[in-house]
């Protein structure tokens, strides 16, 4: 812990998790864990629902382009032949491929596990919704240290906010050849955006999330989520709400002293409806 850490330092290189005070939160602090919830366990009912635009099926040229995507370069000559000589056969094949790939991607994204952070540490609505009305706390993470954990590296993204749901298009799909089969390359395909796109009504959260998939984990996975152990002691401070109970504050203070974590206090500023954070 840096004893010289101040509130001003929070504006650069830190992420924040608002939490209620409970045994799960304490375990995350003590054991340096990050709980990644199944997308179906999150509070937004629209999380990670994959949808692929099917309007291309009405345009013959777009159907041909889709055939190149679904069937690969090796099938290009056959696709062109069917385009001119047996278009209905080509259309049926593309529709079938579209359906199977859409179902496959929906299944993939339904198995994503997500841990949510915020860029804000004094957002009143966040303190209300996620930290039990200033009775809970906000954990301050060093972003660089989080990124050193192998399973999280490269999997941290800013949430995109919009007024319309993200719908993937064929041009967003990139493929690769694996054992002579055509596979969708999720690392290069924009369709992955559905996992970090939300309605603009959530914009006040300024969310950053880490995203992992079931396949990255071992057989002990709990389908409701997974606790990722993070190295390098990424928790550098904890902000507790002014309404926290005396008993809970004593427990928190003991843990933080033992782990070298600096404490700050968040208080409601009545005159302008803001939350002020200061050293405890």
pLDDT digits (tens, 9 = 90+) for 95-104: 999 999 899 8
pLDDT at 174: 87
Question: Using alpha carbons only, what angle is made at residue 48 by residues 42 and 49, rounded to the nearest 5 degrees?
Answer: 115
189 pLDDT above the threshold of 60:
yes
- Residue 184 banded pLDDT, cuts 50, 70, 90: confident
Exposure string over 42-60, b if 16+ CB within 10 A, otherwise e: eeeeebbebebeeebeeee
Average pLDDT of span 124-152: 96
Most confidently modeled of 40-44, 68-72, 273-277? 273-277
Between 225 and 128, the more confident residue is: 128
pLDDT at 219: 52
pLDDT at 220: 53
Cα torsion angle, 251, 253, 259, 263, sign: positive
- Residue 67 banded pLDDT, cuts 50, 70, 90: very high
Average pLDDT of span 185-199: 88
- Residue 228 banded pLDDT, cuts 50, 70, 90: very high
pLDDT at 185: 85
Strand partners, 115: 210
- Residue 87 banded pLDDT, cuts 50, 70, 90: very high
Return mean pLDDT, the chain: 92
pLDDT at 134: 98
d(CA 253, CA 238): 10
- Residue 117 banded pLDDT, cuts 50, 70, 90: very high
- Name, in order, each residue with C-beta under 8 angstroms of 259's C-beta and a sequence gap of 6 or more: 1, 29, 30, 233, 235
d(CA 84, CA 81): 5
3 pLDDT above the threshold of 80:
no
pLDDT at 83: 95
pLDDT at 176: 85
């Amino acid at each position: 812990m840096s004893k010289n850490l101040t509130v001003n330092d929070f504006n650069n290189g830190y992420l924040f998790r608002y939490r209620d005070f409970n045994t799960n939160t304490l375990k995350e602090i003590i054991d340096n864990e990050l709980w990644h919830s199944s997308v179906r366990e999150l509070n937004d009912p629209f999380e990670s629902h994959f949808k692929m635009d099917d309007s291309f099926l009405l345009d013959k040229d777009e159907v041909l382009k889709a055939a190149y995507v679904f069937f690969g370069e090796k099938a290009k000559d056959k696709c062109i032949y069917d385009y001119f000589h047996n278009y209905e056969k080509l259309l049926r094949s593309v529709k079938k491929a579209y359906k199977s790939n859409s179902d496959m991607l929906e299944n993939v994204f339904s198995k994503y596990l997500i841990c949510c952070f915020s860029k804000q540490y004094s957002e009143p609505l966040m303190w209300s919704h996620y930290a039990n009305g200033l009775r809970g706390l906000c954990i301050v993470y060093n972003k660089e240290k989080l990124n050193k954990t192998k399973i999280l590296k490269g999997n941290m993204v800013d949430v995109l906010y919009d007024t319309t749901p993200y719908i993937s298009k064929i041009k967003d799909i990139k493929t690769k050849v694996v054992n002579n089969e055509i596979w969708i390359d999720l690392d290069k395909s924009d369709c992955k955006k559905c996992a970090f796109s939300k309605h603009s009504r959530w914009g006040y959260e300024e969310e950053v999330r880490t995203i992992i998939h079931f396949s990255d984990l071992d057989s002990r996975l709990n389908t409701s989520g997974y606790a990722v152990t993070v190295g390098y002691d990424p928790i550098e401070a904890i902000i507790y709400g002014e309404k926290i109970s005396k008993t809970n504050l004593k427990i928190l203070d003991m843990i933080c002293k033992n782990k070298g974590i600096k404490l700050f206090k968040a208080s409601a500023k009545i005159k302008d409806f803001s939350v002020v954070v200061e050293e405890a």
